[in-house]
């Protein structure tokens, strides 16, 4: 043993004489407990000098032989040993070492330090290991999906990266689909599901996934919000998503084990020169080794259980899913929404309302916030174009011209013919003349308008100004007002028999005023 410096030796002796525990001495001085025990035995042995009176550089005398009959002292007992039963009862109640120490000091006069209680509690506390249930599902009922990391792959010349490793595992058989991709987003996540369904030859009833953003936009224990593209893809294949609770990966332990198995067996220590080479190796390894292995818990071959499960998975639909990007747009004053620089009619959506736009490869679909389709348009090939029909315009010049011609036609056939000629010869400026022609009956008699229109057509003088001047030279005739026709009966006229009865009653009465009062009361 190395000889301690004088100041450490004096400190050690002082602490030992005061009864300080060895652990506390080690914490304070930094001297190992073996050396502390040695100095403690040397201090308690008679006839052995401690060296405190000697010179600082003096070599200590050799140690005397230990007595044969004297046993070696054991470890120092814990200061908490007398209170073991009480401490064990408190630990069983779930109390921590701090609260137990405080009660020992206040209630039982405990004079030692907290560290002694902490060490004692740590020794007697027994932690029950966490238990996990074994989840069993029927064939074709559930698949589990997740992302991991693939093997190092050449990304750029001289630069390797780990791509994303996508794994889907059927819960019943343990059959897995594996593929690596460089990047991931909502559409890639959905496409990987579709490729897994095709590899299995069918679809399960449920898909259990983590709360990653590609699948779940807003995690919630009761009503999680799914990515719309992913949700529509699952609905197309008739699959229901079942997201795990937040921070509960044990719910999808099957795919977690499949990812670890893939990383530790198929990809461990390997490098690939392209991502296609890694995917080709994963497909070969699945067929050659993973599918032929004996399942560790079920003690059966994975491929055999997959063949047993295949009749229970539902067949694929005849058509694949059409992928889209989804965005929210506001309908402008013209009833249009702008998508990628082009404009599309959104009626019957009201102006300034919000609609959902699904952008397909060759089509634009506009749906309301409830998901009901409103309009479909062919996707424009260049920016700045308008996809709007004549009936979708809030103010359509063509529709207004037709309305004006209909008003002119109510004047008469000659006026209608003149109006058609005006619009045919003048075009858009002729629409103003139609407004004037349609409003002429407010000041002139229709018969006069018809007569003048007939003369102008005969003279091939198609002009609204000529029509108006001809009508203004003619004195404006008052529009005849139908006089009321006198009738002998009506809702406001009493029958003649009632008047006759009244006069007969009046003539026979001796008191005319009384008869009149009776009539009024009647």
pLDDT band at 94 (very low <50, low <70, confident <90, very high): confident
Half-sphere exposure (Cβ direction) of 513: Cα atoms closer than 13 Å: 0
CATH class of the domain at 142-312:
alpha beta
pLDDT at site 204: 96
Rounded Cα–Cα distance for residues 149 and 168 (Å) = 14
Segment 50-64 shows an average pLDDT of 50
Q: Could you read off the pLDDT of 204-245 as tens digits, one per residue?
A: 999 999 999 899 999 888 888 999 999 999 999 999 999 998
Question: How many angstroms separate the Cα of 171 from the Cα of each of 42, 423, 447, 494?
Answer: 69, 74, 89, 93
Q: Where are the beta strands (DSSP E) in 189-258?
A: 206-209, 216-218, 225-226, 240-243
Q: How is residue 55 written in tokens?
A: 């010179």
Q: Could you read off the pLDDT of 260-301 as tens digits, one per residue?
A: 999 999 999 999 999 999 999 999 999 999 999 999 888 999
Within 57-152, where are the H helices? Answer: 84-92, 97-108, 114-124
Q: Average pLDDT, whole number, for the chain?
A: 83
Rounded Cα–Cα distance for residues 340 and 401 (Å) = 33
Rounded Cα–Cα distance for residues 38 and 6 (Å) = 16
Find out whether 317 and 185 touch, Cβ atoms under 8 Å: no
Secondary structure of 415-440 as H, E, C letters:
HHHHHHHHHHHHCCCHHHHHHHHHHH
Flag whether pLDDT at 52 surpasses 80.
Answer: no
Return the DSSP state at 463: -
**If we measure between CA atoms, which residue out of 290, 311, 260 comes closest to residue 176?**
290
Strands 271-272, 152-156: pairing kind: parallel
Domain layout of the chain by residue ranges: 6-44, 81-124, 142-312, 325-392, 398-473
Rounded Cα–Cα distance for residues 474 and 496 (Å) = 50
pLDDT at site 343: 92
Q: Which residues contact 266 (CB under 8 A, 6 or more apart)?
A: 281, 282, 285, 289, 290
Most confident of 247-261, 478-492, 495-509: 247-261
Flag whether pLDDT at 404 surpasses 70.
Answer: yes
SS3 233: helix
Sheet of 342-345: strand order equals 336-339, 342-345, 386-387
Sheet of 325-330: strand order equals 325-330, 354-359, 363-367, 373-378
Rounded Cα–Cα distance for residues 270 and 250 (Å) = 28
């Amino acid at each position: 043993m190395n000889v301690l410096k004088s100041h450490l030796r004096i400190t050690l002796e002082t602490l030992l004489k005061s009864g300080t525990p060895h652990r506390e001495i080690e914490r304070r001085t930094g001297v190992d407990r073996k050396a502390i025990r040695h100095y403690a035995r040397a201090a308690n042995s008679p006839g052995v000098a401690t060296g405190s009176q000697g010179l600082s550089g003096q070599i200590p005398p050799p140690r005397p032989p230990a007595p044969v009959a004297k046993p070696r002292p054991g470890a120092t007992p814990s200061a908490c040993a007398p209170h073991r039963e009480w401490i064990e009862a408190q630990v069983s109640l779930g109390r921590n070492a701090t609260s137990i120490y405080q009660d020992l000091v206040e209630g039982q006069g405990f004079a030692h330090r907290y560290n002694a209680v902490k060490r004692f509690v740590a020794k007697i506390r027994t932690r029950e290991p966490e238990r996990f249930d074994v989840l069993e599902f029927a064939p074709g009922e559930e698949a589990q999906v997740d992302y991991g990391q693939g093997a190092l792959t050449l990304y750029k010349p001289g630069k390797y990266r780990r791509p994303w490793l996508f794994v889907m595992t059927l819960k019943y058989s343990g059959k897995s689909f594996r593929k690596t991709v460089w990047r991931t987003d909502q559409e890639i996540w959905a496409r990987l599901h579709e490729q897994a369904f095709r590899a299995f030859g069918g679809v399960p009833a449920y898909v259990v996934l983590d709360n990653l953003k590609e699948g779940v936009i807003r995690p919630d224990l009761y009503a999680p919000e799914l990515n719309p593209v992913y949700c529509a893809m699952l609905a197309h294949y008739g699959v229901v998503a079942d997201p795990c609770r937040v921070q509960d990966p044990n719910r999808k332990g099957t795919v977690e084990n499949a990812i670890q198995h893939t990383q530790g067996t198929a990809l461990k220590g390997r490098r690939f020169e392209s991502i296609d080479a890694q995917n080709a190796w994963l497909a070969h390894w699945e067929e050659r080794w993973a599918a032929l292995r004996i399942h560790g818990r079920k003690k059966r071959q994975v491929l055999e259980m997959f063949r047993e499960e295949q009749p229970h998975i539902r067949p694929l639909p005849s058509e694949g899913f059409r992928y889209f990007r989804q965005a929210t747009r506001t309908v402008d004053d013209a009833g249009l929404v702008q998508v990628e620089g082009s404009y599309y009619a959104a009626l019957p959506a009201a102006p300034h309302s919000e609609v959902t736009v699904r952008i397909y490869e060759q089509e634009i679909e506009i749906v309301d916030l409830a998901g009901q389709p409103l309009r479909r348009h062919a996707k424009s090939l260049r920016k700045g174009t308008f996809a709007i029909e004549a009936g979708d315009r809030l103010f359509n010049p063509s529709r207004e011209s037709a309305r004006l011609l209909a008003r002119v036609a109510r004047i008469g056939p000659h006026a209608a013919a003149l109006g058609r000629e005006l619009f045919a010869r003048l075009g858009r400026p002729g629409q103003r003349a139609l407004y004037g022609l349609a409003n002429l009956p407010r000041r002139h008699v229709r018969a006069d308008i018809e007569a003048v229109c007939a003369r102008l057509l005969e003279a091939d003088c198609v002009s609204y100004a000529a029509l108006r001047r001809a009508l203004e030279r003619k004195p404006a005739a008052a529009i005849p007002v139908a006089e009321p026709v006198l009738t002998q009966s009506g809702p406001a006229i009493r029958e003649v028999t009632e008047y006759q009865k009244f006069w007969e009653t009046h003539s026979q009465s001796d008191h005319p005023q009384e008869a009149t009062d009776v009539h009024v009361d009647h």
